[in-house]
Structure 1
Amino acid sequence: MLQLIKKDLYIHKLSWLIYFAMLVFFMYFNKDIFFVIALMSAIVTMYSFYYDEQANGHKLWNSLPFTRSEIVSARYFSLLVVTLIMTVVTVTVEFVLHGGWNTVLWQELVGSFVLLLISGSIFFPLFYTFAQRNAVFILVILSILFVIAGVHVLYYSYIWLIENTMIVQSMGEGLFWSTATAVSLVSYGISWGLSIKIYKAKELL
């Protein structure tokens, strides 16, 4: 399975330079870390689905000694690895450009992680269900738009909860984000199992 994770990273090749250039561009113009990590991780991960479908990669991976569970699991692990890479790079660029980090950095990092898990939970099973080229392209676009919209929805929902309710104050920021992380991890695990079930039952064309 490690080879499949490496494959998901290697297929981007020189595109990594474009991704990092985009990341620096966003950071230079003071885009939120939350937005940058979520968007760039989504782009990298969803491109992997699109690349595999364009290259009929699913046929190749199934002809090699990998189980379908391993193929699906590698994709779920890949999202976590890509998110980690983008987080480290973004935090480093933030420090270089601005000489430090703001006090809510940890909330932005957790927020981006939660959003990506939710996005993956929703769209990964859809990719394995509707794995045709046109459908995959549409799902890639929808998933990226979902992340962009999700950044704003999550941010303003959090602000609304702080200003209009006592939920965050009574729970405390740490417990609130820990709960959000736990819920997103559970949904990611359920989605993981569902995707494996879908892919095992799928006929490859």
Structure 2
Amino acid sequence: MFNLIRRDVILQKRHLLIFIPFILFFIIMDKQPTLTFLVASIFIPFNTYAYDEKVETNILLNSLPYTRMEIIASRYIGAIVYMILSIGVTSLALFIFNKPFTMTDIAIAIILFLLFVSFTFPLFYIFKPGYITMVILISFILLAAIGPTIVLFLAEHLTAITDFITNLSIPTVYTGATLIIVVVYVISWGVTAFIYQRKSF
């Protein structure tokens, strides 16, 4: 399974040359650190899916000595590995450019990334290849643009929930959010594995 994760890095070596300038653009444009961390985390996993969608790599993967469960596991574990590496590189770049960021920025980016992965990875195996990558990227851009507005709107109108959350301690909020994200991620992993097991290539 490690070789499957390594394969993604090898396939992405040309795109990795774009990765640093891509992140530097967000930093120089003085974008919110949370958004910069999120975009950096998404870069490699979704480029891999976009590449596989074009060349129908799943036919090749299923001819290799790996089970379908291992193939899906490499996707979900790989996403976490790439996220950690991307956050490390982005943190270093922000530090070099003397741009302030906090652990809260990183924590929110991780939560958003894992949620985005949880909801989008199954879609690559539900819909036919060709358009799904573009649909997901457009959806991501729209969510990044209007997401904060939606959150503020809900916070203003769902005051009971807002009051409940604000009365909780910070450790409780982080622990609760972590548990929810882990559960959602594991469910997504299971759903994707279930779909992939029954898919014909």
Cα distance, 1:180 vs structure 2: 1.3
Structure 1: stretches of 5+ with no match in the other structure: none
CA shift in 2, pair 1:91/1:37, >3 Å: same
Residue matched to 2:28: 28
Which stretches in structure 2 are left out of the alignment for 5+ residues?
Answer: none
Q: Distance in 1 between matches of 2:65 and 2:91?
A: 38
Number of aligned residues? 199
Change in 2 beyond 3 A, CA 1:110/1:156:
farther
- Aligned-residue sequence identity (percent) comes to 27
Q: How has the CA–CA distance of structure 1 residues 82 and 23 changed in structure 2, closer, same or farther, with 3 Å as cutoff?
A: same
Q: Which residue of 1 aligns with 2:56?
A: 56
User: What's the RMSD between the two structures over aligned residues?
Assistant: 2.5
Shift of 1:22: 1.3
Of 175-184 and 193-202, deviating more is 175-184
Q: CA deviation at 1:41?
A: 1.9
Change (3 A) 1:126 1:117: same
- In structure 2, what is the Cα distance between the partners aligned to 1:186 and 1:66? 26
Aligned to 1:144: 140
Cα gap change, 1:109 to 1:159, in 2 (>3 Å): farther
- TM-score normalised by length of structure 2: 0.87
Aligned pairs (5 A) from 1:60-71:
60-71=60-71
What pairs up with 1:49-128 in 2 under 5 angstroms? Answer: 49-98=49-98, 101-102=100-101, 105-128=102-125
Hey, what's the Cα distance between the residues in 2 that align with 1:146 and 1:74? Answer: 28
**Which residue pairs with 2:168 in the alignment?**
171
In the TM superposition, what is the alpha-carbon distance from 1:182 to its structure 2 partner?
Answer: 1.5
Is the contact between residue 47 and residue 140 of structure 1 (CA under 8 Å) also seen in structure 2? Answer: no
Cα distance, 1:158 vs structure 2 = 9.6
Query: Could you tell me which of 167, 182, 194 is aligned with 1:185?
Result: 182
Shift of residue 153, structure 1, vs aligned partner? 5.6
Structure 2 CA distance for partners of 1:157 and 1:116, relative to 1, 3 Å: farther
Indicate the residue corresponding to 1:39 in structure 2: 39
- 1:174-202 deviations in whole A, cap 9, x for unaligned? 32122112111110000000100000001
* The 10-residue stretch of structure 1 (136-145 or 90-99) with the greater mean CA deviation from structure 2: 136-145
Tell me, what secondary structure is at the counterpart of 1:166? helix
CA 142–88 in structure 1, closer or farther in 2 if over 3 Å, else same: same
For 2:133, give the aligned amino acid. F
* Residue 194 of structure 2: aligned partner: 197
Q: Which amino acid aligns with 1:4?
A: L
Letter in 1 for 2:6: K
Letter in 1 for 2:53: E
Q: Which residue of 1 aligns with 2:17?
A: 17
Instruction: Go from structure 1 to structure 2 and tell me whether the alpha carbon gap of 1:15 and 1:92 turns closer, same or farther (over 3 Å shift).
Output: same
8 Å contact 2:87–2:106 — kept in the other structure?
A: yes
8 Å Cα contact 2:155-2:162 kept in structure 1: no
SS at match of 1:63: coil
